[in-house]
């Protein structure tokens, strides 16, 4: 029988639970959804014993789950509790079923095992045990409860910890995976390469859930990939994650009588007209009250849309404040067809290293419009000259100036002592065609000074939506972390984000000098 069929039958029994005969009740207990609503108790937020009953978000997830699921959510929706009760039920009713839960720290692991799993198991009454025996099951007994784990007499087991490497798991749940990816990237890698591999693709279940923690790490990547598949309505393979998003406004209790902040009127209007999310006055009042406390953290803790959830800035990021303003002002939009008459300039970091990033931009009044971003590695100068030429033709743009870093004046090994600037000027053959370009060289400037100029220029920037990869690079550009001292270093972390950030920094040097009244001819050498 399909899960949906089981669900319908179980819900029909739940609706008439007060009038069920003994035989009806015995049959009802054969359905997992019925058991999840009547059989287990947990501790609520105040520490009181209450009957566990899944909320509407948990029910929605239950009915729509895949074998690989990723849940992006608002705070306090109880998905870890739901999964632990669900996995406990499977352990009790399926022989040799192994379930595991990974938490971001040991205190959380102890709390989940003690107050969710162990408490729920011990709350099963003798009457329930007798009823279950009538349908041919026996509630197994724990043969071990050491190390935040149950091993049952039927061969099943459930364990909560901060990592997992071991035998095969039928179900793996990772709680607050975004937080793990952010604070403990090595642990996140261990989970992906170790714990994931312990779950078979044939019938095994992996569930990842978390609030968003910035645009970095596995959780962001998996969410992005899963959301893209969901938007495209693609059939999922056994290795694809299914995307689930549960917002704050789905919860009926998130509504109060109170004032609606005037500063949020524009935000609420945008939710309604752009996203079709119409909030009640009570919901707006609740959001306003929470916003006064959390400020910009509301987008991470109580997101209204999936995109908004990841707009929270990354810790240690150089341009965190600037991008908060960019998102608030709505300066990421479709500008591809706007003011298509001005010259389009190209800033590159050609000459710095193997990887190269290109920013295509146009000056519109005092604004800097970032029209396109491209990055690649393992290619020579000819590739990028070809890409620039073809991009200009395809977009019907008029090429303005090409800018490159001071490194382009360094002599190239194996090029008869010529610089990359000279090579570009004389012509580079690529794929049977010779490409030429006159590069203007941006003078050398210290990284710290360049970052300050980039911060300044970002106040004037408007980004086209197609620059998503470049925007992500700028948002992810951050300081190095000193593990020994527990603080940020004064030097940038050199990773995948560096190329796009370096190229933009050169752009900032160029346009800052020009905006101060120095001509390009005098500033560029």
SS3 per-residue string spanning 213-269: CCCCHHHHHHHHHHHHHHHCCCCCCCCCCEEEEECHHHCCCCCCCCCCCHHHHHHHH
Chain CA centroid to CA 325, Å: 20
Please tell me whether residue 396 adopts helix, strand or coil conformation: coil
Same domain (yes/no): 85, 216: yes
Tell me the two tokens of residue 63. 């009915």
- Domain assignment present for 384: yes
How many CA atoms are closer than 13 Å to the CA of 324, on its beta-carbon side? 16
Which residues in the chain show pLDDT less than 50?
1-2, 413, 518-525
What tens digit of pLDDT does each residue of 463-516 get?
999 998 999 899 888 887 666 666 667 788 888 888 999 999 999 999 887 666
Supply the pLDDT for residue 300. Answer: 81
The Cα 3–Cα 62 span in angstroms is: 9
Question: For the chain, what is the domain count?
Answer: 4
How many CA atoms are closer than 13 Å to the CA of 385, on its beta-carbon side? 21
| pTM of this structure | 0.72
Strands (E), 327-395: 332-333, 343-348, 356-364, 367-376
Query: 3-state SS of the chain: helix, strand, coil percent to 5?
Result: 45, 20, 35
- Rounded to the nearest 10°, the torsion over CA 124, 128, 133, 137 is -50
- Domain assignment present for 323: no
Same domain (yes/no): 100, 238: yes
Same domain (yes/no): 147, 273: no
CA–CA distance from 225 to each of 57, 191, 231, 417, 447 (Å)?
22, 18, 10, 45, 33
Same domain (yes/no): 194, 147: yes
Same domain (yes/no): 279, 228: no
Tell me the two tokens of residue 59. 């029910």
Supply the pLDDT for residue 485. Answer: 63
Contact between 300 and 182 under an 8 Å Cβ cutoff? The reply is no
Same domain (yes/no): 467, 429: yes
Residue with tokens 């999964």: 83
Give the count of beta carbons closer than 10 Å to the beta carbon of residue 451. Answer: 17
Supply the pLDDT for residue 227. Answer: 92
Q: What is the extent of the structural domain holding 255?
A: 251-312
Same domain (yes/no): 373, 442: yes
Same domain (yes/no): 266, 237: no
Same domain (yes/no): 214, 358: no
Same domain (yes/no): 340, 381: yes
- Domain assignment present for 317: no
- Domain assignment present for 49: no
What tens digit of pLDDT does each residue of 186-219 get?
899 999 999 999 999 988 999 999 988 877 789 9
Same domain (yes/no): 301, 444: no
The Cα 398–Cα 294 span in angstroms is: 46
Supply the pLDDT for residue 44. Answer: 82
Same domain (yes/no): 207, 97: yes
Supply the pLDDT for residue 67. Answer: 93
């Amino acid at each position: 029988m399909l899960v949906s069929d089981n669900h319908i039958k179980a819900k029909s029994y739940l609706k008439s639970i007060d009038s069920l005969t003994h035989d009806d009740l015995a049959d009802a207990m054969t359905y997992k959804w019925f058991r999840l609503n009547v059989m287990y108790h947990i501790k609520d937020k105040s520490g009181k014993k209450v009957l566990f009953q899944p909320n509407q978000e948990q029910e929605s997830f239950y009915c729509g789950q895949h074998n690989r699921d990723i849940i992006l959510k608002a705070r306090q929706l109880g998905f870890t509790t739901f999964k632990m009760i669900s996995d406990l039920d499977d352990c009790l009713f399926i022989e040799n079923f192994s379930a595991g839960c990974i938490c971001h720290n040991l205190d959380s692991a102890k709390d989940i095992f003690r107050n969710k799993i162990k408490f729920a198991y011990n709350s099963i009454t003798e009457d329930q045990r007798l009823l279950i025996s009538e349908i041919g099951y026996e509630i197994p007994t724990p043969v071990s409860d050491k190390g935040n784990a149950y091993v049952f007499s039927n061969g099943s087991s459930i364990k909560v910890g901060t990592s997992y490497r071991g035998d095969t798991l039928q179900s793996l749940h990772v709680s607050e995976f975004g937080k793990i990816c952010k604070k403990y990237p090595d642990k996140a890698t261990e989970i992906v390469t170790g714990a994931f591999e312990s779950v078979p693709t044939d019938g095994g279940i992996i569930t990842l859930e978390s609030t968003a923690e910035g645009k970095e790490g596995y959780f962001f990547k998996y969410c992005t990939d899963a959301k893209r598949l969901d938007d495209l309505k693609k059939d999922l393979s056994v290795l694809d994650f299914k995307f689930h998003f549960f917002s704050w406004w789905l919860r009926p209790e998130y509504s109060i009588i109170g004032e609606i902040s005037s500063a949020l009127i524009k935000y609420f209007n945008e939710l309604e007209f752009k996203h079709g999310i119409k909030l009640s006055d009570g919901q707006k009042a609740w959001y306003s009250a929470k916003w006064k406390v959390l400020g910009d953290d509301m987008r991470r803790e109580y997101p209204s849309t999936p995109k908004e959830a990841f707009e929270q800035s990354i810790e240690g990021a150089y341009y965190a404040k600037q991008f908060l303003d960019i998102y608030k002002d709505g300066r990421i939009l479709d500008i591809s067809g706007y003011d298509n008459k001005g010259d389009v300039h190209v800033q590159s970091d050609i000459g710095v290293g193997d990887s190269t990033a290109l920013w295509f931009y146009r000056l519109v009044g005092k604004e800097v419009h970032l029209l396109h971003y491209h990055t690649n590695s393992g290619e020579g100068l000819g590739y990028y000259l070809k890409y620039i030429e073809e991009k200009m033709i395809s977009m019907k743009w008029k090429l303005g100036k090409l800018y490159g870093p001071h490194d382009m004046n360094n002599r190239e090994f194996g090029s008869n002592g010529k610089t990359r600037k000279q090579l570009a000027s004389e012509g580079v053959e690529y794929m049977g065609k010779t490409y030429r370009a006159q590069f203007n060289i941006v003078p050398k400037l210290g990284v710290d000074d360049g970052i300050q100029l980039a911060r300044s220029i970002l106040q004037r920037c408007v980004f086209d939506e197609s620059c998503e990869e470049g925007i992500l690079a700028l948002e992810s550009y951050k300081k190095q972390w000193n593990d020994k001292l527990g603080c940020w270093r004064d030097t940038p972390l050199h990773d995948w984000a560096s190329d796009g950030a370096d190229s933009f920094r050169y752009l900032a040097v160029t346009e800052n000098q020009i905006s101060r009244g120095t001509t390009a001819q005098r500033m560029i050498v």
